Chains A and B, each alone.
Chain A
């Protein structure tokens, strides 16, 4: 562990402590905003964990998110809360492994379309089951949690997700994923077990998304498929990660914060034109900042990046 890592860890802990204190002074509206932001920080960071290096654009985010939320709605009265989270995570894992095995051989646009279709399929299945078997479309989620409890859980999940992303970036498996993203054929010939590597990180990312949905379920009190399987969540996650830069540790976070606030403002002020503006924004981001803000910033101020290797050579 070098000085830079230690410094980063210390800063991270400080930020975490400061953020943990937010509910002690923030009112209900700012706290609600913070919960929303944290939710998307988790989703975007988890998304980038897999999709950043592989460039597999997944629109299945909300499928896992919804599975988490629905598991909590179904099991909240039957099992102790930690068990509910565990079961949710396991269901998310099982679905991710199944989907991963079926789809990770698909490349490019086929994968995008499949993940989008999968989300719709799961939503329709849940709706069908609820209408025809349980005969109630919506469900109430009653858990003895205040917003601050949801906030703290999400904060812990966000910290764990960033920690995992930090570790993966330095670990062999993260490197393997980058090699795969560059050229799968070369990766296979160099000895990388392609399917296992992709599946592992796809599943890790999916479990985090499932937990994000599970933890946020009590926020709504009442949920139904069209709320927790809303495809806009998947789109927002992609835009946030791309805006910040899906190949940087803090890229998705830096994309999630401003965009969430912007969407919040847009949906409050332009409720009818919200999705049009969203679409235009999506197009603008992909056209203008294909590598994300962080990469754009580095191109504007290239000195730091070119100076680093030179410094490394000077102090062997």
Chain B
């Protein structure tokens, strides 16, 4: 019996920016249906890794495979069509469009595209799922911060991704909003969507992630069940600094 391919596998991923090596030989794998946290102090290379998986940055070296198929270095629209969707560290709404059109933008250009009445109906349904039901006709710029995040999640889900990359999607929310946000993401577990989330909010990481990968200075320093990883001495040192830990 041959082992099935992991949904995402990253092997020896490297990215240089001039003389700086932001990601330095990163390897890990995600199985289908997992929700995994990608942690690490600021500047440890988490977002750079995410950017290479989504196609925003080409890797300097290493391999990225989705369902066994190499995707490293492809254009973001190609990678999107293969089933990777993402949100951005700073919310990126499409400001001249309405809320529904923001979601329609994902539906209209995904692989099995939806357009016209069917697209509008699906956009409305996705907005209802994230708690923005009936607000599709509002301009996107009129939304509050949490609602922009909801809209961005609906847009990412509209691409019908196999793998969803969330870049600090829960950052900057107040406690009530955070609870709502955690609820939304744990709801993805039931859809079977695989999620890789870069996150600093530890309560959210504990509540959502079965497993965590921790990076420091471009390398992976820990990978395992969330509780174990967060208690790992190397992780505590990385977060708090060597001398004072």
Query: Which chain A residues have a beta carbon within 8 Å of chain B's beta carbons?
Result: 172, 175-176, 178-179, 181-183, 185-194, 309, 312-313
Contacts and interface: CB of A to CB of B under 8 A. Distances in A.
8 nearest A-B residue pairs (beta carbon): A191-B109, A309-B137, A182-B94, A188-B76, A191-B80, A179-B105, A189-B76, A192-B109
B63 to A, nearest CB: 21
B217 interface: no
Contacts of A172: 108-109, 113, 115
A192 B76 CA distance: 9
Interface string B83-97: 001101000101111
B131 to A, nearest CB: 19
Contacts of A176: 108-109
Contacts of B76: 185, 188-189
Given A172-B115, A185-B56, A190 B96 contact: no
A185 B92 contact: yes
Given A190-B159, A191-B159, A193-B77, A175 B85 contact: no
B164 to A, nearest CB: 12
A181 B137 contact: no
B105 A190 contact: yes
B111 interface: yes
Contacts of B109: 172, 176, 179, 190-192
B77 A183 contact: no
Contact of A191 (B101, B111, B115): B111
A45 B66 CA distance: 44
Given A179-B105, A181-B96, A182-B96, A189 B137 contact: no
Contacts of A178: 94, 96-97
Contacts of B113: 172
Contacts of B108: 172, 175-176
Nearest to B80: A191
Given A182-B95, A183-B92, A190-B159, 13 more contacts: A179-B94, A182-B97, A185-B56, A186-B92, A186-B105, A188-B55, A188-B80, A189-B55, A189-B56, A190-B80, A191-B111, A309-B137, A312-B137
Contacts of B81: 191
Interface in B111-125: 111, 113, 115
Interface residues of B, number: 29
A189 B85 contact: yes
A175 B105 contact: yes
Interface of B: 54-56, 75-77, 80-81, 85-86, 88, 92, 94-97, 101, 104-106, 108-111, 113, 115, 137, 155, 159
B193 to A, nearest CB: 16
A181 B105 CA distance: 13
- Most A CB contacts (10 A, CB to CB) among B56, B92, B105, B137 go to B105
Contacts of B106: 190-191
A175 B120 CA distance: 14
B92 A190 contact: no
A111 B85 CA distance: 30
A190 B155 contact: yes
Most buried by B among A172, A183, A186: A186
A191 B77 contact: yes
A188 B79 CA distance: 10
B116 to A, nearest CB: 9
Q: Which among A176, A186, A191, A192 has the greatest number of chain B C-beta atoms within 10 A?
A: A191
10 contacts: A172-B115, A175-B101, A182-B95, A186-B105, A188-B56, A188-B77, A189-B86, A190-B159, A191-B109, A309-B137
B58 to A, nearest CB: 13
A193 B109 CA distance: 9
A313 B101 CA distance: 16
Contacts of A179: 94, 97, 105, 109
Contacts of B75: 188, 193
A54 B76 CA distance: 19
B110 A191 contact: yes
Nearest to A179: B105
A189 B115 contact: no
B80 A186 contact: no
A250 B155 CA distance: 31
Contacts of A194: 77
A147 B37 CA distance: 71
B96 A189 contact: no
A189 B50 CA distance: 12
A188 B56 CA distance: 9
A186 B94 contact: yes
The residue in B94, B109, B111, B155 that gathers the most chain A C-beta atoms within 10 A of its C-beta is B109
A189 B95 contact: no
A176 B109 CA distance: 8
A173 to B, nearest CB: 10
A190 to B, nearest CB: 5
Q: Which of B55, B94, B101, B137 has the most CB of A within 10 A?
A: B94
A191 B159 CA distance: 8
B15 to A, nearest CB: 17
